[in-house]
Amino acid sequence: MAEVGETMAASSGGEGGVEAPHRLERKWTFWFDNQSKPKQGAAWGSALRKVYTFDTVEEFWCLYDQIFRPSKLPANTDFHCFKSGIEPKWEDPECANGGKWTVTCNRKATLDTLWLETLMALIGEQFEESEEICGIVVSVRQRQDKLALWTKAASNEAVQMSIGRKWKEIIDFNEKIVYSFHVHPFTTLKPQESVYHRRGNCQATMKPSILAFVLLIIAICSGVVAAAARSPAEFVRESCMVTQYPALCEQCLVAYAQAVHLSKHELARAALSVSADRAGSASAFVRRMSAGGGKSLRSREAGAVRDCIGTMQDSEDRLRRSVREMRRMGRPRSPRFAWHLSNVRTWVSASLTDETTCLDGLSQYASPAVRAAIRKKVLEVSQVTSNALALVNQLSPRN
């Protein structure tokens, strides 16, 4: 496996003008686990196999397109995507005191979508508490499939609730999800907690045919990463040239290159989703600052901060509505396309006004320290929103 990884890494460097790969913030590792034929007396983790560690956008999409779709898996198998250096075992020190959020799914097509959106959110660092996340596992079963997001510190309720809410928002999941605590095997177990360890006793070795298939596809991907034209990434870069902040635009959207492919519509929708996420993070930041400041904020200053919180919440709400509206547009030249497009442009423009209003209020009443801290967050939201509006304005009902 190491030889395959080294070949792929060497190939992706390339010569003759091949563009440099797009690096992720950190390395991630795919793991595979086949539990279809339990082996009597097998040790915990004996079936787990490290497949490949990646740290570029191109490697991720090559591997995902060829292998890592849950709908392609046989029953009783698991795929994991964890931060490099963390094994998907509760015995791993990073996981030992954690837990997991679990989503159940009955349709393979939906499972593929939830898995992909979660993967993109993880490698794209969309979670504000990303350092508290270990990774994600998809479990394919005969009757009901599951996705589980593993986290580090189960005792920190505020962090876990924040991660859970964010995950539901990312995958657009409206049903209830459950958080399960892990208890280290050397501690005393309560009866309801023992289920974690009973699940770990049934392990098997990977089928040689499946392992050979995985290795074959990775070998194929080695050549694909090095030789294939990166038109989706080029498309993102070229599209971002029309924005006011092209470098920021590319930085935010390059992880979505393969998902949007060559669609201006999907690129604009991705940009709006990024803007909404940033607006939500900025709003949460200002709320925490307001709560932390307490009585130390002067009355006018506190009022300006509260107003800023309200306008940033309005901004996020309009951006979320814009993302939903983009899904309803239909095809260009259809009667409803122009109507929905007009709504999106109106809401995104209003969102920019909200962000400006927040900054204006702070400039009049907030102290320099408070103003500087909030201004940095809000300006970032304004910039990504400006970029999103520029991409939306590239859409036309006539083509």
Beta bridge partners of residue 105, listed in sequence order: 145
pLDDT at 45 over 70: no
**Dihedral sign (CA 18, 24, 29, 30):** negative
* Burial status of residue 85 (CB atoms within 10 A of its CB: 0-12, 13-18, 19 or more): exposed
pLDDT-derived band at 28 (thresholds 50, 70, 90) equals: very high
Domains 2-222 and 231-392 belong to one CATH topology? no
Q: How many CA atoms lie within 13 A of 293 on its CB side?
A: 22
Q: What is the mean pLDDT of residues 347-367?
A: 76
Rounded to an integer, the average pLDDT of 379-397 is 88
Q: Between 195 and 392, whose confidence is greater? A: 392
Residues 202, 37 contacting (CB under 8 angstroms): no
| Model pLDDT, residue 66 | 65
pTM: 0.50
Find the mean pLDDT for residues 37-48.
61
More confident call, 354 vs 380: 380
Yes or no: domain 231-392 corresponds to CATH 1.20.140.40: yes
Spatial neighbors of 366 by CB under 8 A, at least 6 apart, are 301, 304, 305, 374
Q: What is the mean pLDDT of the chain?
A: 76
Fold (topology level) of 2-222: RNA Cap, Translation Initiation Factor Eif4e (3.30.760)
Helices (H), the chain: 2-13, 57-66, 108-123, 157-171, 195-198, 208-227, 231-240, 246-253, 257-260, 264-293, 299-327, 335-365, 368-392
Sequence-distant (6+) residues with CB within 8 A of 32 are: 48, 49, 51, 77, 78, 79, 80, 206, 210, 211, 214
Map out the domains of the chain as residue ranges: 2-222, 231-392
pLDDT digits (tens, 9 = 90+) for 312-327: 888 888 899 888 888 8
> Where does the pLDDT of residue 186 fall: very low under 50, low under 70, confident under 90, or very high at 90 and above?
very low
Give the residue, 272 or 355, on which the prediction is more confident.
Answer: 272
- Average pLDDT value for residue range 37-45: 56
Instruction: Give the lowest-confidence range in 126-140, 216-230, 344-358.
Output: 216-230
Is residue 380 within 8 Å of 386, Cβ to Cβ? no
- Higher model confidence: residue 58 or residue 149? 149
Strand partners, 81: 30, 136
- Determine the pLDDT at residue 197: 31
